[in-house]
């Protein structure tokens, strides 16, 4: 008889591997990329490809230079490159995704030892770096898109503006994403510097018709965050495969929904437009694809829930009172850093656990 294999049990495996998980995430991100192409054109695909090539190239180079096995085929660098590009405006200069990916892979990932050891989400770290270094390139580049895309509702908004004759608002609407717009208008209203037209616009932004546009993606925004529908479709694949679990996304979105309802409105407490806050900005992308990054999120069940709730809390705080219109990426980064601590304070209780072990 020839030699046989001997190992510890279990002798069966689900046939899941790092590679399979990562490439499934890539597939799950494709619907959003397709939506980006439909709404923003080839440019968004081009930016994404640049981000991916830079990420994969950097990973290979760093691993080659540090004489480590080259693991680019596991797909994790592809995911990082895609997620980074998804967080960029479609008309951003070509070198933005390249620099972002290089930074994300070297400083965000390989410097800590590669996949599995990075403390924060590399793509988000890359974005934060870009945001701090080239704020202009990171926050413009979607203006024309919004104007082009606004076939129905946005033109309606414009009509309101023209009749209202508020030129300051008119500038805003052509230079910002819906979330950005809503937050600035809201700020003006609360400060008492805006006219009645601003109120009308705010209400129109949170109208069901406009939410529909938000949901399908007929709006301005970053490449990957444009279509909530496409993102949810992709996320469904990951949920079905048990690669992401409900606690983080539901905890995150639920918290944002509740808190933005509480403080996100213009008519006092509990008047906020919930659906507008859920489907605008990067929340859906963040909640399903970035806050669920396996490596940088808690392992324990309660920890994951706390992580999601914490992300939601920070997002609403930044959106409502912060200097940035969008708080998704920073809240996830902050919670990433808190992850080891969250794991520590949320030990799992074994089945049948009883408080006092009586002898």
Partner 1 sequence: MCAKTFKGGIHPHDHKHFSNHKAIEKFPAPEKLYIPLIQHIGRPALPIVKVGDEVKKGQKIAEADGFVSIPLHSPVSGKVTKIGPYPHPTGTIQHAIEIENDARNEWISKLIDDEQYFALSAEKMKGRIQEAGICGMGGAGFPTHVKLSPPENRPIDTVILNGVECEPYLTSDHRLMLEYPEDIIAGLRIIMKILGAKRGYIGIELNKKNAITIFKQMLRDQKNINVVPCMLRYPQGAEKQLIYAATKRKVPAGGLPMDVGVVVQNVGTAFAIYEALRYHKPLIERITTISGAIVNEPKNLKVPIGTPLSQLLEYCGGTSEEIGKIISGGPMMGFALPDMEAPATKTTSGFVFLGNKEVIDTTEAPCLHCGRCVDACPMNLVPSFIADNVKNGQYEEAMKLSVLDCMECGSCGYVCPSHIQLVQWIKIGKLEVNKLKRQDK
Contact call for residue 11 and partner 1 (CB under 8 A): yes
- How far CA 317 is from CA of 111, 186, 227, 320, 328, in Å, comes to 31, 14, 24, 5, 10
Closest CA to 85 of 53, 39, 112: 53
Among 64, 94, 95, 117, binds partner 1 (CB under 8 A): 117
Q: To which H or E segment does residue 80 belong?
A: helix 76-86
CA 99/CA 171 separation, integer angstroms: 30
Q: Any residues with CB less than 8 A from the CB of 73 and at least 6 apart, and which?
A: 19
Closest CA to 237 of 292, 296, 311: 292
Which residue, 179 or 235, has its beta carbon nearer to partner 1? 235
Among 175, 205, 294, 333, binds partner 1 (CB under 8 A): 294
Number of residues that bind partner 1 (CB under 8 A): 45
Contact call for residue 345 and partner 1 (CB under 8 A): no
Among 42, 136, 192, 242, binds partner 1 (CB under 8 A): 242
Contact call for residue 158 and partner 1 (CB under 8 A): no
Contact call for residue 130 and partner 1 (CB under 8 A): no
Among 48, 296, 315, 331, binds partner 1 (CB under 8 A): 296
Alpha-carbon torsion (75, 125, 86, 256), positive or negative: positive
Contact call for residue 20 and partner 1 (CB under 8 A): yes
Contact call for residue 73 and partner 1 (CB under 8 A): no
Q: Which two tokens stand for residue 162?
A: 């023209």
User: 264 with 273: CB under 8 angstroms?
Assistant: yes
Of the candidate spans 2-10, 140-148, 229-237, 280-288, the one that interacts with partner 1 by CB under 8 A turns out to be: 2-10
By CB under 8 A, name the binding residues for partner 1: 1-2, 4-14, 16-18, 20-21, 113-117, 242-243, 245, 294-301, 304, 343, 347-354, 357
């Amino acid at each position: 008889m020839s030699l046989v294999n001997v190992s510890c049990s279990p002798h069966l495996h689900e046939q899941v591997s790092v590679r399979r998980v990562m490439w499934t995430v890539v597939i799950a991100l494709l619907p959003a990329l397709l939506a980006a192409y439909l709404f923003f054109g080839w440019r968004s695909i081009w930016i994404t490809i640049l981000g991916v090539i830079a990420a994969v190239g950097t990973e290979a180079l760093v691993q080659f230079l540090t004489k480590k096995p080259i693991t680019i085929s596991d797909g994790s660098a592809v995911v990082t490159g895609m997620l980074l590009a998804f967080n960029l405006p479609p008309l951003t200069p070509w070198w933005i995704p390249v620099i972002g990916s290089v930074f994300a892979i070297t400083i965000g990932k390989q410097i800590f030892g590669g996949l599995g050891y990075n403390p924060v989400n590399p793509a988000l770290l890359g974005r934060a770096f870009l945001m701090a270094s080239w704020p202009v390139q990171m926050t413009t580049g979607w203006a024309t898109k919004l104007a082009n895309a606004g076939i129905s509702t946005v033109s309606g908004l414009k009509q309101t503006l023209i009749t209202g004759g508020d030129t300051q608002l008119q500038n805003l609407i052509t230079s910002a994403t819906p979330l950005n717009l809503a937050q600035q208008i809201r700020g003006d209203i609360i400060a008492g510097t805006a006219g009645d037209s601003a109120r009308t616009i705010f209400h129109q932004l949170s109208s069901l018709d406009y939410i529909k546009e938000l949901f399908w993606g007929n709006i301005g925004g970053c490449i990957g965050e444009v279509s909530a529908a496409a993102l949810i479709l992709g996320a469904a694949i990951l949920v079905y495969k048990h690669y992401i679990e409900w606690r983080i996304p539901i905890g995150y979105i639920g918290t944002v929904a509740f808190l933005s309802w509480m403080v996100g409105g213009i008519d006092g407490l509990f008047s906020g437009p919930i659906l507008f806050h859920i489907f605008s900005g990067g929340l859906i992308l963040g909640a399903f694809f970035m806050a669920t990054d396996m490596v940088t999120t808690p392992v324990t069940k309660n920890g994951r829930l706390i992580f999601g709730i914490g992300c939601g809390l920070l997002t609403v705080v930044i959106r409502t009172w912060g200097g940035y219109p969008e708080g998704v990426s920073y809240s996830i980064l902050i919670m990433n850093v808190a992850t080891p601590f969250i794991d520590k304070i949320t030990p799992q209780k074994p089945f049948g656990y009883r408080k006092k072990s009586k002898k």
